[in-house]
Amino acid sequence: MKKVLLGMSGGVDSTASAILLKQAGYDVIGATMELWNEEKNNIGCCSNNAVKDAKRVCDYLNIPHYTLNCKEQFKKYVIKDFINCYECAKTPNPCIECNKHIKFDLFYKKALELGCNYISTGHYAKVEYCERYNQHVLKKSNAKTKDQTYFLYGIPKEVISKIIFPLQNFETKEQIRKIVANNNLEIANKPDSQEICFIPNNNYTQFLLDNLNKEHTRGQIVTTNGEILGEHEGLICYTIGQRKGLKISYKEPLYVINLDKKENKVIVGTQQELYKKELYATNLNFLLSNKINQTMQVTAKVRYRAKEAKATISYVDKDYIKVEFEEPQRAITPGQSVVFYIDDIVIGGGKII
């Protein structure tokens, strides 16, 4: 019998995954990762309540449950990156870093220590063997509106064949909740967590003010033509594409176009000025090979909720690529990730600079 280590958050998705894995005949071990000050935070995937709910589910399903202390690694790879990005006037995506370093790297190493053949999570994604590429590939979930492959492009390539996504063939969250309800588990109606797990009340600005090594001073809000319109409250309070909260008056709606760290300025402009046809990316991870061909035609997403757009990617040097879109893309944001697809297969991605 194949043994699998399942990451359990105490939520509906990981609970349904445990049920499906057992029904498929796997020897399942549940594990909840302690990531961030659980005693102060009772919401999200790493809270005290999450651990209790996960253990309750495992007891009910008669599978063992472990709690894994991953706080040190989480602080190193996720928290510090989050803070450093804002210090550099960039907008990070901590879920991508957590998946890359914690949920599909450290967790896999823990699975090997426990003698497991596979790891599993409740993510909405697919892993399948692809004859075209002669390897296992990461693919979009059937639940298109909930597909999470954007957050998974950074996982180690060598781990892909060892991942099981039990929810990959379901199309709606209602189907998942029904699986849990049919097993008489009360958490079938537990709401999804929408917040960043380590930020109480989703107040990231206050979190940064509490954790930054230096104070961030006020500065000017200026148009792309240099016209001074007001004063900003610190670059950490703003992100590309932002319109609300600027506290300025102008003849037409203005959006944050750029954050000038050197001059400590928030640059604002019109909706039209938000759109660009190219970007550069680094911190690359490709899942089909170590690097792409000289140029490659793909579809690309510049944020999780963005629509895929046709693009050409090519190397500038070994560490950087250029992405040229057929149509301009809105609010391309340094610090966020650009992720590449061919059909439903994730090719890879990188950090926008």
DSSP 220: E
> Quick one: which of 291, 346, 299 has its CA closest to 321?
291
DSSP 173: H
Compute the distance between CA of residue 256 and CA of residue 208 in angstroms, rounded to an integer: 20
Report the DSSP beta bridge partners of residue 33: 68
Question: What positions carry a catalytic annotation?
Answer: 98, 197
> Quick one: which of 43, 19, 42 has its CA closest to 30?
19
* Distances 52 to 4, 22, 27, 187, 242 between C-alpha atoms, Å: 21, 20, 22, 12, 38
| 99 close to 154: Cβ distance less than 8 angstroms | yes
Task: Tell me the CB-side half-sphere exposure of residue 343, using CA atoms within 13 A.
Answer: 6
Q: What are phi and psi of 99, to 5 degrees?
A: -65, -45
Distance of CA 106 to the CA centre of its chain: 16
Compute the distance between CA of residue 231 and CA of residue 353 in angstroms, rounded to an integer: 25
The three-point CA angle 242-244-248 to 5° equals 105
Compute the distance between CA of residue 246 and CA of residue 230 in angstroms, rounded to an integer: 9
> Quick one: which of 186, 265, 262 has its CA closest to 229?
265
Compute the distance between CA of residue 28 and CA of residue 47 in angstroms, rounded to an integer: 22
